[in-house]
Amino acid sequence: MRYTELRPDPQLLKPNYGGFKLSLDTVPVLRTELQPSHRPNRVRPNPQRQYSYLHARLFGLQNHLVRDPWATGCLYYVDVSGTVQRVQYQSTVGRLSACCPVYRMTLPPQSTESSDPYNASLVFASDRLCLLADGHGTISVLHTGNRSVVTATTNGTWVAECVLPRADREEDSRLLPAAGSVLLDARLVQLDDSSNRQQLHCIAVQVEHFPTKPSETVLHWFVLEQQQRQPAGDAVLDGWTVRSSCQLRSGGFPRYCSLDYDCTGLLLASDKPFTFTEDTEYPIEPEPSGTAAGEKATQRDASDAPADPVAGALSWSQTMTDIKICCSKRDGIGWQFEPAAEPDGSFQLTANGQPVLAGSQLFAAINGPPSTSETDTVLELVLEKAVKESVWPHLYPGGPAETIVTSSDGREEEVADELLPAPDLDAMLEECDFGDAEGEEQYFTLERLDRQTHRATDRASLGSQPPLFTMRLQPGAPTAIVVRHHVDACVWQPIRPVVPSTSTTGSSTWNLQHEGTLHTFGYVQASKRQQKYLAAAPDLGYAAICESERMVSIYRLNYRTSGVLHRRHGPQVSVGQQHLIFLEDTSEILGICCENEAIVLLLEGALVTLQLTIEE
């Protein structure tokens, strides 16, 4: 497994940014009422059922207003009749166009069935294809044509190329999600062969409830393959067929989920790991030793076998910045430390000629080679963490637990004492300094899970703060992830993998590129108690925090008239502008889309446009 450190580009940071000052300038608010038949479709929860936190997060935070990454200003939503409505923000006049229906699907009637339905969802796979899920189990592949150009003859209507019905049978449920689901991502891939075939990869999520244990999040990754459309009598055969499917499960919720560029891996950010539980194309091999099953087998064998002296001679501890590894030389154990020539922190630790630990096995990345100190009784290694202010749950998979450190002079130190904050802090702790979970330490990581090996090939540490939100910067590319960095919010874009020339296995490297920074937005977001949607403009000119109803906070970063705070002494400080928008309607906000010139909100009975003019 490779570890990636999120190092922000210093040129994209502003240490002298002074935050935002409240602006009293008026932001024009344009309201477009929706007819009762054009109001957004929304599934109401069953009052007779008890829902989990995973259910509440999936239902409550779904954005029902979908932005088209290939057509600027085009927005879509599904109304109560199952019709996909298109609206377009016209920047020349600063207004929304009228609702235009592009496709109609049949929604099943509301019933008290055993499995609750989900809200309808829509994702774009290419500039001419999209997938539509009705929330009850039916998924449709739609041919949209050129969405950026709508002619008078076509009027932009969509045609269904394939309709995948609900998987009621057991053999079908292995290929498609049983019951309803919510679409997260989709991508069209051209196969590298002479057949000129195409594959459509799609990710859908659903929450499975258990009566005797906590609910789980289930991710379905299914692949559709394009077939030749041949006439069969008066009908036309479907152009897509299900090729394969796999399933991932976790007790956590995916804060970020996106397919990588070639759809050979899945990018996931969560506080609890996702594991492959079923795959119809590639067999899932059992976990290697060091996992829960391997540890149980090892414990059974250890009851009859003598204890390994090398395993008990290695201990480790940590502070918020360093990792200390102590290798005891008792029982005649000889330790050898061999640093690598590369400056990436690679090393090899052996005991009596047998390998014990390598730098690539560590839980997270480190800065530079470890420093060593050796006496007649112990060999000590000190590793500097690449991500400061983070806690490692383990040193390496299957390694020893964190224990009390025995220093070279025989003095014992409690690790917990080193991790406690200083008792004489001048600044008081605020509520935004604590995590979301009460009484539980959360640690978030961004991983790439490979489809064939079902293992995590790359990992980036996100610390104790979850990702703020996601946004689409480039059409056809993975979704960008916005992560808090001190008081700022940094936008990271997964870049296209590159196969090194020295690689013999053909495996590609994976990395994240710092695309931009929302200055001091991390601190602003942490101080907000009420927040439903977080979004930003495609050019990162502003960011917005939307509550569940009425209030929208807008933070302009590059607004020229906000100016600079001129000080008589010290450096000049740049500031942005904050706008507080209070809507007259008290209905719930169901969706948000940000363009460079405006923000469009989807309410229960109207579309609201907030006109912004970013002056450079």
SS3 assignment, position 445: strand
For the beta carbon of residue 472, count every other beta carbon within 10 angstroms.
16
Distance CA 291, CA 302 (A): 16
Under a CB-based contact definition with an 8 Å cutoff, are residues 604 and 610 in contact?
Answer: no
For residue 589, count CB atoms less than 10 angstroms from its CB and return exposed for 0-12, middle for 13-18, buried for 19 or more: buried
Residue 297 lies in a domain: no
- Quote the tokens at residue 544: 């917005």
Distance CA 416, CA 284 (A): 39
Q: For residue 351, what pLDDT is reported?
A: 87
Distance CA 263, CA 206 (A): 21
The amino acid that residue 18 corresponds to is G
What is the C-alpha R_g of the chain?
A: 27
Residue 234 lies in a domain: yes
Distance CA 538, CA 20 (A): 20
Distance CA 387, CA 377 (A): 31
For the beta carbon of residue 207, count every other beta carbon within 10 angstroms.
22
Residue 58 lies in a domain: yes
Distance CA 443, CA 458 (A): 16
Q: For residue 602, what pLDDT is reported?
A: 96
Distance CA 134, CA 117 (A): 9
Distance CA 76, CA 335 (A): 63
Distance CA 236, CA 263 (A): 29
- What separation, in Å, do the N-terminal and C-terminal C-alpha atoms of the chain show? 44
Residue 481, strand partner residues: 470, 492
Q: What is the dihedral of CA 41, 47, 48, 53, to 10 degrees?
A: 90
Tell me, yes or no, whether 406 and 545 share the same domain: no
Distance CA 241, CA 226 (A): 7
Q: What is the CATH number of the domain that holds 38?
A: 2.130.10
For the beta carbon of residue 588, count every other beta carbon within 10 angstroms.
15
Tell me, yes or no, whether 108 and 72 share the same domain: yes
Tell me, yes or no, whether 143 and 228 share the same domain: yes
Per-residue model confidence as pLDDT tens digits over 425-471: 555 556 555 555 455 567 899 999 999 999 999 899 888 889 999 99
Under DSSP, the state recorded for 340 is: -
The amino acid that residue 113 corresponds to is E
- Quote the tokens at residue 325: 């590894």
Range from 7-11, 261-265, 407-411 carrying the lowest mean pLDDT: 407-411
Distance CA 363, CA 109 (A): 50
Under a CB-based contact definition with an 8 Å cutoff, are residues 610 and 540 in contact?
Answer: no
Q: For residue 613, what pLDDT is reported?
A: 75
Tell me, yes or no, whether 20 and 159 share the same domain: yes
Residue 188 lies in a domain: yes
For the beta carbon of residue 202, count every other beta carbon within 10 angstroms.
27
In which band, very low, low, confident or very high, does the pLDDT at 194 lie, cut at 50, 70 and 90? low
Residue 305 lies in a domain: no
SS3 assignment, position 524: helix
Q: Is 463 left (phi over 0), alpha (psi -120 to 50) or beta?
A: left
Tell me, yes or no, whether 479 and 414 share the same domain: no
- Quote the tokens at residue 214: 């906590």
Of 388, 419, 450, the domain-final residue: 419
Strand blocks (E) in 144-239: 159-164, 182-190, 198-208, 216-226, 231-232, 235-236
Number of structural domains the chain divides into: 2
Residue 33 lies in a domain: yes
Per-residue model confidence as pLDDT tens digits over 238-292: 578 899 999 999 999 999 999 998 899 999 999 899 999 999 999 988 766 544 4
Cα–Cα distance list, 65 to 131, 280, 591 (Å): 15, 33, 5
Residue 143, strand partner residues: 129, 159
pTM: 0.75
Residue 523 lies in a domain: yes
Distance CA 199, CA 191 (A): 7
Tell me, yes or no, whether 447 and 372 share the same domain: no
147 φ, ψ (degrees, to nearest 5) = -75, -20
Residue count of the chain: 616
281 φ, ψ (degrees, to nearest 5) = -110, -45
Residue 480 lies in a domain: yes
Range from 69-83, 235-249, 512-526, 536-550 carrying the lowest mean pLDDT: 235-249
Q: In what order do the strands lie in the sheet with 275-279?
A: 182-190, 198-208, 216-226, 240-250, 275-279
| Dihedral sign of CA atoms 473, 476, 479, 485 in order | negative
Q: What is the CATH number of the domain that holds 337?
A: 2.60.40.790
SS3 assignment, position 511: coil
Under a CB-based contact definition with an 8 Å cutoff, are residues 405 and 326 in contact?
Answer: yes
Distance CA 404, CA 253 (A): 34
Per-residue model confidence as pLDDT tens digits over 206-224: 999 888 889 999 999 999 9
Query: What percent of the chain clears pLDDT 90, i.e. is strictly above it?
Result: 43
Tell me, yes or no, whether 242 and 127 share the same domain: yes
Under a CB-based contact definition with an 8 Å cutoff, are residues 1 and 457 in contact?
Answer: yes
Q: For residue 601, what pLDDT is reported?
A: 97
Tell me, yes or no, whether 137 and 225 share the same domain: yes
Q: For residue 112, what pLDDT is reported?
A: 52
Under a CB-based contact definition with an 8 Å cutoff, are residues 356 and 310 in contact?
Answer: yes
- Quote the tokens at residue 265: 């891996």
Strand blocks (E) in 15-72: 17-22, 29-33, 66-67
- Quote the tokens at residue 468: 């703020």
- Quote the tokens at residue 388: 């400061």
> Which of 142-157 are b and which e, b meaning 16 or more Cβ less than 10 Å from the residue's Cβ?
bebbebeebeeeeebe
Tell me, yes or no, whether 409 and 451 share the same domain: no
pLDDT of 564 > 80? The answer is: no
- State the residue for tokens 């309201």: 31
Residue 383, strand partner residues: 323
Question: Taking Cα atoms as reference points, which of 510, 409, 413, 522 lies closest to residue 465?
Answer: 522
Q: For residue 342, what pLDDT is reported?
A: 66
Distance CA 318, CA 70 (A): 47
Cα 287-288-292 angle, rounded to 5 deg: 65
Tell me, yes or no, whether 179 and 232 share the same domain: yes
Under a CB-based contact definition with an 8 Å cutoff, are residues 224 and 241 in contact?
Answer: yes
Tell me, yes or no, whether 183 and 221 share the same domain: yes
Q: For residue 502, what pLDDT is reported?
A: 45
Q: For residue 352, what pLDDT is reported?
A: 84
Tell me, yes or no, whether 196 and 323 share the same domain: no
Domain assignment of residue 357, given as a range: 310-419
Q: For residue 220, what pLDDT is reported?
A: 95
pLDDT of 488 > 90? The answer is: yes
Per-residue model confidence as pLDDT tens digits over 138-171: 999 999 988 887 654 456 789 999 898 876 655 5
533 φ, ψ (degrees, to nearest 5) = -120, 140
Under a CB-based contact definition with an 8 Å cutoff, are residues 63 and 591 in contact?
Answer: yes
